[in-house]
Structure 1
């Protein structure tokens, strides 16, 4: 099973970043606008439309308020398995955000890695901009 990890530091506070992450229906407005262009909620999951046109159903596995950690899986995009987590950690002057994904087939590594890097970059841009204006 392939695994990818991406992470960023942002000037935004951990509470601010976590509030945006935990708002699972607002990926396209609060967390990663442009990377995600639409998010629709359904019981226990969200339907995510990415900027590249890909649509994926993401069942929500866990939302851990104490650890500021969200876990989800994904159905679609040519993957036979996808499980991911994103977690927010407090740092001096901001936050560290870590996104880990495990998936099959292994041959999807380049595609998944590129999308994760694009997503975490959009998250950093959005959070840093919000930190500057607050």
Structure 2
């Protein structure tokens, strides 16, 4: 099984970033507008539509507000790996900075390269979006 780990620094508080990342229902659309076109929720699953045409159905595995960690698994979609489980965790790095770690385990291994590329692109969009959520002049979310 391929395990992919990506991490970025976001210039915003861990609380502000977690408020978006931890939102299972709308988080993907909020954190990566343009990269994600739509997110629809039904019970413990969400259907995420990406700009490249990929559509996936993800099941919520867990949301831990204390550790700021969300875990989900892809259960259906246009790309159907044998296994696809992911977590995102927000870790404070000062008052107005945090790190976002995204870990994804996938089978078959051949999917690792395209998923690594997609995750890297997604993280660029997430960083651009969430860096902008904090206005240092005002000390609060925009």
Is TM (by shorter chain) over 0.5? yes
1:53 counterpart residue number: 53
Q: Is the 8 A contact 1:27 1:36 kept in 2?
A: no
Query: 1:3-50: per-residue Cα shift (whole Å, max 9, x none)?
Result: 101110011100000000121222354211111110000111100001
2:81 counterpart residue number: 79
Unaligned ranges ≥5, structure 2: 136-140
**Residue-pair matches, total:** 134
Q: What TM-score, normalized to structure 2?
A: 0.89
1:128 correspondence with 2:131: yes
1:15 correspondence with 2:15: yes
CA distance 1:20–1:116, shift in 2 (3 Å): same
Q: Which has the larger radius of gyration?
A: 2
Q: Is the 8 A contact 1:27 1:33 kept in 2?
A: no
Q: Is the 8 A contact 2:21 2:28 kept in 1?
A: no
2:92 counterpart residue number: 90
Q: Work out the CA distance in 2 between the residues paired with 1:47 and 1:78.
A: 14
